Structure 1
Amino acid sequence: MTDDELIDDDPDSSPAPTESEILDGILIDVDLNPPPELSRCPNCGGPVSSVTSRGPADHTAGPCGCSLTPGQVKRL
């Protein structure tokens, strides 16, 4: 097999992503039906699937984007 045979130049040969968005060329999975065991955001009540920490007191819930205190992060 040659290197040319390994390259797939047809972008339509891949299946289209389902329940995903493409934002600035980055594929982002979107969970439209999160499982019931996810924690709830203490600020808005939405499901929390991730927490981003940018310092000891700077935390953000995802996907809602609400700010969280260190105490709220511990309770999640």
Structure 2
Amino acid sequence: DQPGALYALLLPFASAGVNLTRIESRPSKKKPWEYVFFIDMVGHTEEPAVKEALQKVAEHCNEMKILGSYPVGEIED
């Protein structure tokens, strides 16, 4: 918990060109005044840009879990 921590967490996504569609914070149940962030993004964990961003993000957080990663579906006319 330090000034600029959220910025450091989000910067790898911007640098890799990964679009974030949602950021939500919740108080941690483990420690008072600690927060958990849920981030939705456009991309799949197997895409090189997403892999790069996630590797850099992991360096700036205590714990990281990927709750799901799904390929983009196509709509047929």
TM-score with structure 2 length normalisation? 0.23
Q: Higher strand share goes to which structure? A: 1
Higher RCO by CA contacts (8 Å cutoff, separation 6 or greater): 2
- Largest Rg, 1 or 2: 1
Structure with greater helix percent:
2
Q: Give the TM-score normalised by the residue count of structure 1.
A: 0.23
